[in-house]
Structure 1
Amino acid sequence: MSSPEQALASLLSQLALSFDGAVLGIALAYTAVRSLLKFSATSSSLNKILKAPSVVHVSDLRSILAVHDDQDDSSSQPSDHHQKLVVLRGTVEAKSAVDSSWKTFKPNVLLSQESGDKAVVVQRTQTGSWITRQLVLVGAVNCPWALLCIYNEWKGFFGWPSDLRAIFARSRREQESTSIRAVPFVLVDGGRWPHSDFVVVNMDGSNHPLPLTTVFHQLQPITASPYTFLQALFGHEYPVGLLDEEKILPLGKDITAVGMCSFKNGVPEIKSCKDLPYFLSDLTKDQMIVNLAFRSKILLWGGVAFGSLSIGILGYAVMRNWNRWKEWRQNRQLQQQSQAASPDAGTQIASEEETGDVPDGELCVICLMRRRRSAFIPCGHLVCCQLCAISVEREATPKCPVCRQEIRNSLRIYDT
């Protein structure tokens, strides 16, 4: 771990343990609440998928929806208004292949630029790859040797601003630009032709991940330039190349669709359900159930564990601060009683204090006028006069001005 990361970790640990761990307890309580809320959502999704009928063949979908409509309104014809959650397994096919119109003669599909595969979804991502300043000598082969030698000698001096900046804000090492194209597609029964039965996939408003296949992966190196050398010299990172990645949803791929299915103009259509974590996936229904059941158990026990820890830490912080407040209140009452019993005690102490020629090494570190006479307990530092020591003791959380350790009392020291 580098020094900036160590400093950041130390700062975060001090913040988490402040107020006797109260901040850490609140953070654990927030994590526990979030885990339990996610557990509730995951359990609800699991129950919905368990109750949803599993459609093995697309041709069975019409009968399932027809039975659902008959139970609702006793009509023999499928309705365009009723929706039913189903789990459907089918094969990807372009919508133009099943349209009975002039579009059939013009297939509406996408082609991968690199592999030439036919697809209905193409996602292309370009990522800029960076390396840290210490590896710049490997990539900057086109820079003059003299400049590299100068950089090697002075990199410690020029590098400290970036290290200091890294403590507060970590710069991104990757810059991505993603473009996605899609055409209308349907799910059909694989191996059957013609495709008389199909279901249209409606992706409007869906933010679920797609089961895409990576077909192209290549790193294009960047030629070093004077500007690149300046980036490496005064900056924190050095660009080395562009990483191109292409993912497609090819024709003929078997996928599972989980969503609300209904008839639209007499054609079955399925769209995503925002309450479910899946829409289009490579997993089967049984695999989804296993994953959701395992995730719900982890979230439940994680929420219970974090909640128990937070209760223990917050209880300890509350009791410790309560006892500290009661101790301070008792000390305060004793001081007030002693001051009421002897109102001239302060003037007597002031008259006893030496304010004449006192060496610099024996002056009080607070007032810089009187001689050091009181030692703090339990740290034992003799750094204050008696009046300043009393004023320190009267604070809400008295601490030694040297070591910042909490003090319980002070002791008057007499010279022999």
Structure 2
Amino acid sequence: MSAPDQAAVAVLSQVALAADGAVLGLALAYIAVRSLLKFKTTSSALNKVKKAPSVSVSDLRSVLSQPSDQESDTTTFSDEKIVIVRGVVETKSVVNGNWKKQNVLVSHESNEKAVILQRTQTCIYNEWRGFFGWTSDFRSLFARHWKEQESSSIRTVPFILVDGGKWPQSDYLTVNLDGSNHPLPLTTVYHNLQPISASPYTFLQAFFGHEYPVGLLDEEKILPVGKEITAVGLASLKNGVPEVMACKDLPFFLSNLSKDQMVDELDFRTKVLLWSGVVIGSVATGILGYAVIRNWKKWKEWKQRREIEQQNAAEEMREAEGGVTAAEESGDVPEGQLCVICLMRQRRSAFVPCGHLVCCPRCALSVERELSPKCPVCRQTIRSSVRIYDS
């Protein structure tokens, strides 16, 4: 690890352990709360997937026309139900009877027919610290996304799911991708990484410690016609035709997994999130408890020191006031011996090291307590004051 990296790690560790670990404890508590919230969401999705019926495309109409178990008591019918349907991908033009002009996409690289075509171009960046590259240590903490710049384009055509091995297709399920942010089960048909030749501008970027491009990655992914996938979502009858769309409460929409595999994966996620939340929450509680106790003790010690300092100051003030003579109380102090600050009491304290006798004990004490104590006559920095007594 280089010296700048060690310095960055040292700064981060000091910030994390600030206030006796309170910052670290709060960060861990935030992670634990996020884990428990994700556990709640994943557990709810697991229960929904378990209760959802797994049916074929041909049996979907009968399921949608029946009330669910929760609705049987009220004899009401729901427009949408969560179902799990396993089927084969086909273009919608197959069932529309448009044989002459099939609405289908063709891969540029493999020439396979598809209903979803995604092309991605990623520019990969590297970084050399260079002679002026120390700024990259701080920039990299907040700009990791600068390492790659990705441009992606996706094309889709209307497609359906049908029962495999049955022809002609009388029953089908229309897939509605509107509003779906779920990952798609795409197949990679092209993957090519090309290096980028260096230029004079690249040398300048490296010299000043900036990222510079080193490679260009081209990828093409498709959802091919004839692939068997599983649709998990809200199914309903639209104009008498079954249609499925994504459910925001579920982590799956179109997937290669079966129902049992989805249940196993969600069950594993819930266990990991639950135990991670419990363990991290316990550690955060311990760290925060330790930080609270340590800071409470420090506050009590500071308060005690403050009280002692105030008592000492009050005693010094009383001692200074106790030295006031009867002549000072009656106001019969010669004009040449009055304190230059208050002009009320007699000069009794001399400053060290300058030796000027120009203040009364009370004003001399107030001058000593300043942040930068200086003699009011010569403006020399003083260390203390000495009480002068007449013989």
TM-score normalized by structure 2?
A: 0.77
Query: What SS class does the counterpart of residue 217 from structure 2 fall into?
Result: strand
Q: CA deviation at 1:171?
A: 6.7
> Match for 2:90 among 89, 93, 116?
93
Q: How many residues align?
A: 337
Correspondence 1:115 to 2:110: yes
Correspondence 1:276 to 2:273: no
AA of the residue aligned to 1:93: E
What is the distance in 2 between the residues matched to 1:355 and 1:261? 93
Which residues of 2 match residues 192-203 of structure 1 at below 5 A? 192-203=166-177
Which residues of 2 match residues 37-76 of structure 1 at below 5 A? 37-55=37-55, 57-68=56-67
Q: Deviations over 1:233-264 (max 9, x none)?
A: 33433322311001110011111110011100
Cα pair 2:88 2:229 within 8 Å, conserved: yes
Q: 1:132 and 1:338, CA in 2 relative to 1: closer, same or farther beyond 3 A?
A: closer
Q: CA deviation at 1:73?
A: 9.1
TM-score normalized by structure 1?
A: 0.73
Q: 1:281 and 1:316, CA in 2 relative to 1: closer, same or farther beyond 3 A?
A: same
Cα pair 1:32 1:302 within 8 Å, conserved: yes
Cα pair 1:98 1:104 within 8 Å, conserved: no
> Match for 1:355 among 349, 353, 356?
353
Structure number, greater radius of gyration: 2
AA of the residue aligned to 1:64: V
What is the distance in 1 between the residues matched to 2:57 and 2:204? 60
Residue number in structure 2 paired with 1:290:
264
Residue number in structure 1 paired with 2:3:
3
Cα pair 2:112 2:224 within 8 Å, conserved: yes
Residue number in structure 2 paired with 1:130:
125
Percentage of identical aligned residues: 60
What is the distance in 1 between the residues matched to 2:103 and 2:282? 57
Residue number in structure 1 paired with 2:29:
29
Q: CA deviation at 1:213?
A: 0.6
Which residues of 2 match residues 308-319 of structure 1 at below 5 A? 308-319=282-293
Q: CA deviation at 1:20?
A: 1.2
Residue number in structure 1 paired with 2:153:
179
Unaligned 5+ segments in structure 2 are 324-347, 356-370, 376-381, 386-391
AA of the residue aligned to 1:61: L
How large is the RMSD of aligned CA atoms in angstroms? 3.1
Q: CA deviation at 1:4?
A: 3.4
What is the distance in 2 between the residues matched to 1:293 and 1:346? 78
Which residues of 2 match residues 137-148 of structure 1 at below 5 A? none
Query: What SS class does the counterpart of residue 63 from structure 1 fall into?
Result: helix
Q: 1:171 and 1:182, CA in 2 relative to 1: closer, same or farther beyond 3 A?
A: closer
Moved more, 181-190 or 58-67: 58-67
Query: What SS class does the counterpart of residue 322 from structure 1 fall into?
Result: helix
What is the distance in 1 between the residues matched to 2:283 and 2:138? 35
Q: 1:94 and 1:311, CA in 2 relative to 1: closer, same or farther beyond 3 A?
A: same
What is the distance in 2 between the residues matched to 1:38 and 1:249? 30
Q: 1:117 and 1:3, CA in 2 relative to 1: closer, same or farther beyond 3 A?
A: farther
Q: Deviations over 1:66-107 (max 9, x none)?
A: 2238959979xxx8x62111111111111111113xx33211
Cα pair 2:4 2:134 within 8 Å, conserved: no
Query: What SS class does the counterpart of residue 297 from structure 1 fall into?
Result: helix
What is the distance in 2 between the residues matched to 1:245 and 1:25? 43
Cα pair 2:42 2:266 within 8 Å, conserved: yes
Query: What SS class does the counterpart of residue 117 from structure 2 fall into?
Result: strand
What is the distance in 2 between the residues matched to 1:207 and 1:291? 19
Cα pair 1:133 1:237 within 8 Å, conserved: yes
Cα pair 1:8 1:167 within 8 Å, conserved: no
> Match for 2:100 among 105, 112, 125?
105
Query: What SS class does the counterpart of residue 98 from structure 1 fall into?
Result: helix
Cα pair 1:217 1:246 within 8 Å, conserved: yes
AA of the residue aligned to 1:99: N
Q: Deviations over 1:302-321 (max 9, x none)?
A: 11112212221212111211
Query: What SS class does the counterpart of residue 65 from structure 2 fall into?
Result: helix
Unaligned 5+ segments in structure 1 are 135-154, 358-365, 371-383, 388-416
Correspondence 1:340 to 2:323: no
Q: 1:4 and 1:95, CA in 2 relative to 1: closer, same or farther beyond 3 A?
A: farther
Which residues of 2 match residues 141-220 of structure 1 at below 5 A? 155-156=130-131, 158-162=132-136, 165-166=139-140, 169-170=143-144, 172-220=146-194
Q: Which has a greater percent of helix?
A: 1
Q: CA deviation at 1:169?
A: 4.7
